[in-house]
Structure 1
Amino acid sequence: MRRSFAFKSTVLVMGWVLAAIACAQIPAYTFWPAIFGALTLPVALALNLLLIGYWLLRRWPVALLPLALAVLTWPHFQRGLALHPLRVAPQAAGGAGGPIVKVLSANVRIFNVYPQLRNEGLASSKAMVRWLQENPADILCLQEFYNEPAGTKTRDGGVFRTIDKIGRDAGREAFFSKTLTNSAGAEFGMALFSRFPIVNKGTIHFGKLTQNHAMWADVQLPSHDTIRVYSFHLQSMSMDEKDIVDSYSSKAGLRQKGAGLLRRFKRGAIARHWQVDTLVRRFERCRYPILLCADLNDVPYSYSYDQLADRFQNAWATVGNGVGSTYNGRLPFVRIDNQFAGPRFAVNDFWVHYEIPYSDHFPTTATYQLQKAAIRR
């Protein structure tokens, strides 16, 4: 009877894994409850691994069933917990391969310019701008960007002259996708900086132009190869961190916050899934090798991530070790900032800058090598 119950449980867990994977492929605007099925996938995958150990000890031939499923679904496991313990980082030199490109992506949270984010002497703002200015990356993709051009009515001096400091003063070309200019003349949006020439560029709106949009730039490498870099910021979850913590900390918190959080989560997911579908259609028309930098505002077990991971290499899942969390807050193990690369790139390295705590997102840096088969301009 115990074996019969264990076998039935094994079959149910395996079915759960497959159902959760299927849920991750259903956009919320088609059937929104599927988002919660997808979120259970890490638990189902972990249980399937435990069942392999159980059956190896009890009746090893049965272990072949969950083992086969684990092998088939290993890429999904790697999305949440990357494991490359024996990997050796390649040499920095290009060698016989193609050119190497180092890319940094970061949500800079408007450089903490708002009063509630400032600290004494604008220390964190200055440190963040200085770090980006001195960073050796070839390409910088920055979401929630803020700039005070010459003539802005401000008491902060030149602290937020960020386009000049991170761009021209650091030897980079700048592409600023502006979404708003306030009454003082300060500018909000997204920015892309490149040490290589930018030969073409554009912006992708998701309806009304807001901070949640996409931008792209065609960059010409020293090898004369042209690559396209996309930077995008998908719809936020629209949920306050404190409300989320309160909702799972107590029954009272769940009653007070639960319904509101569910509504906001549903609206955010529907918007993100529509936005990522819009971007995928653009990606499919691009004739250049592609790199993606994104604040997805979504976890690895989601439709948004799934649509990108099915078409591109996720840099962390390809070479990283561990969870690779990028959210700097009270919610643990949350990776919402990602870089992806098309098949013409080899991912050499990827790391999260936990030593840079100035925003609620940790910056990420990846090193890519363009393969010889890349199309030339």
Structure 2
Amino acid sequence: MRRSFAFKCTLLVMGWVLVGIACEQIPAYTFWPAIFGALTLPVALGLNLLAAGYWLLRRWPVALLPLALAVLTWPHFQRGLALHPLRLTTAAEPATAGPVVQVLSANVRIFNVYPQLRNDGLQSSKEMVRWLAESKADVLCLQEFYNEPAGTKSADGNVFRAMDKIGRQAGRESFLSKTLTNSAGAEFGMAIFSRHPIVNKGTIQFGKLTQNHGMWADLRLPSQDTIRVYSFHLQSMSMDEKDIVDSYSSKSGLKKKGLGLLRRFKRGAVLRHAQIDTLVNRFAKCPYPILLCADLNDVPYSYSYDKLADGFQNAWTSVGNGVGSTYNGRIPFLRIDNQFAGPRWQVRDFWVNYEIPYSDHYPTTATYQLKPKQ
């Protein structure tokens, strides 16, 4: 009877895995409860592995069922917990078969310009700008960017002269996709900086141009290959970190905050899923090898991530080890910042810059090598 009960539980877990994967492929604007089915997928995948282990000890032929499912769904498991034990040390120098490009992506949180984000002497703002200016990366994609050009009415001197410091003064070309210029002349938006010539560029709007949009730049490599780099920032979850922590810390917190959080989470998911559809349609028309840098504001078990994973390699999943969380806050294990690469690229290395804690997002850096055209 115990084995019969265990077998039924195993079948239920296997069904749960399949339902979770199906939920990943349903956009929230079609059926929003599917987002919660997708979020349970990591638990189902873990239980399926436990079931395989149980049956290997009890009755190995039965273990073939959950083992076969684990093999088929291994890419989904890797989305949440990448395992590449042979890559625990930094990757070896790339071969010389094709050009190599290093890309840094970061949500810089407007360099902490707002009063509630500042610290003594604007130290975090200065350190972030300095670190980016000195980065050895070929390409920098910065979301939630802030710049005070010459002539801005500011009491902070040239601390936020970010376009000049990270761009021209560091020997990079730059493209600023502005969403707002305030009354003092300061600029908000996203930016791409490149040590390679920018030969074309553009912006992708999701309706009205806001911080949530996409941008792209075509870069000419020394090999004379042209590549396209996209950077985008999707709709935020619209939830305050304190409210989330309060909601799962106590029953009273859940009653007080739960319903409001659910409404905001649903709204954010609906908007993100529509935005990612817009972007994927644009990617399909691109004639060049593609690299993507994104603040997805979504987890690896979501429609947004799944749409990208269908056609692109996730850099962390390809070469990383562990969870690879990028959120610098009280909610653990969140990887909402990602880099993806098209099929022409080989991911050589990828890491999260945990030593740079000046934003609520940790920067990510990846090294790619362009493979010969088939």
What is the TM-score when the length of structure 1 is the normalising length?
0.98
Deviation at 1:373, TM superposition (A): 1.0
Deviation at 1:89, TM superposition (A): 4.7
Query: Counterparts of 1:89 and 1:76 in 2: how far apart (Å)?
Result: 24
Query: Counterparts of 1:228 and 1:154 in 2: how far apart (Å)?
Result: 35
Please give the root-mean-square deviation of Cα atoms over the aligned residues, in Å: 0.8
Specify the SS of the correspondent of 1:28: coil
Distance change in 2, residues 1:28/1:257 (3 Å): same
Match of 2:180 in 1: 180
Match of 1:65 in 2: 65
Match of 1:100 in 2: 100
Match of 2:92 in 1: 91
Aligned residues: 373
Letter in 2 for 1:245: V
Query: Counterparts of 1:151 and 1:145 in 2: how far apart (Å)?
Result: 18
Moved more, 40-49 or 83-92: 83-92
Match of 2:20 in 1: 20
Specify the SS of the correspondent of 2:156: coil
Deviation at 1:302, TM superposition (A): 0.2
Query: Counterparts of 1:90 and 1:116 in 2: how far apart (Å)?
Result: 40
Query: Counterparts of 1:310 and 1:227 in 2: how far apart (Å)?
Result: 20
Query: Counterparts of 1:280 and 1:92 in 2: how far apart (Å)?
Result: 32
Query: Counterparts of 1:6 and 1:171 in 2: how far apart (Å)?
Result: 63
Query: Counterparts of 2:93 and 2:360 in 1: how far apart (Å)?
Result: 30
Specify the SS of the correspondent of 1:167: helix
Query: Counterparts of 2:323 and 2:16 in 1: how far apart (Å)?
Result: 22
Pairing 1:192–2:195 present? no
Q: Is the 8 A contact 1:148 1:162 kept in 2?
A: yes
Deviation digits for residues 125-167 of structure 1, max 9, x if unmatched?
0000000000000000000000000110011000000000000
Pairing 1:253–2:253 present? yes
Match of 1:149 in 2: 149
Query: Counterparts of 1:252 and 1:84 in 2: how far apart (Å)?
Result: 42
Deviation digits for residues 86-123 of structure 1, max 9, x if unmatched?
1365433442x100000000000000000000000000
Structure 1's unaligned 5+ residue stretches are none
Q: Is the 8 A contact 1:83 1:320 kept in 2?
A: yes
Query: Counterparts of 2:86 and 2:106 in 1: how far apart (Å)?
Result: 28
- Runs ≥4 in structure 1, deviation > 4 angstroms? none
Deviation digits for residues 282-340 of structure 1, max 9, x if unmatched?
00011100000000000000000000011100000000000000000000000000000
Q: Is the 8 A contact 1:89 1:348 kept in 2?
A: no
Pairing 1:168–2:168 present? yes
Query: Counterparts of 2:283 and 2:300 in 1: how far apart (Å)?
Result: 20
Specify the SS of the correspondent of 1:276: helix
Q: Is the 8 A contact 1:104 1:365 kept in 2?
A: yes
Letter in 2 for 1:272: R
Q: Is the 8 A contact 2:94 2:348 kept in 1?
A: no
Q: Is the 8 A contact 2:94 2:369 kept in 1?
A: no
Identity of aligned residues (%): 82
Letter in 1 for 2:227: I
Letter in 2 for 1:277: D
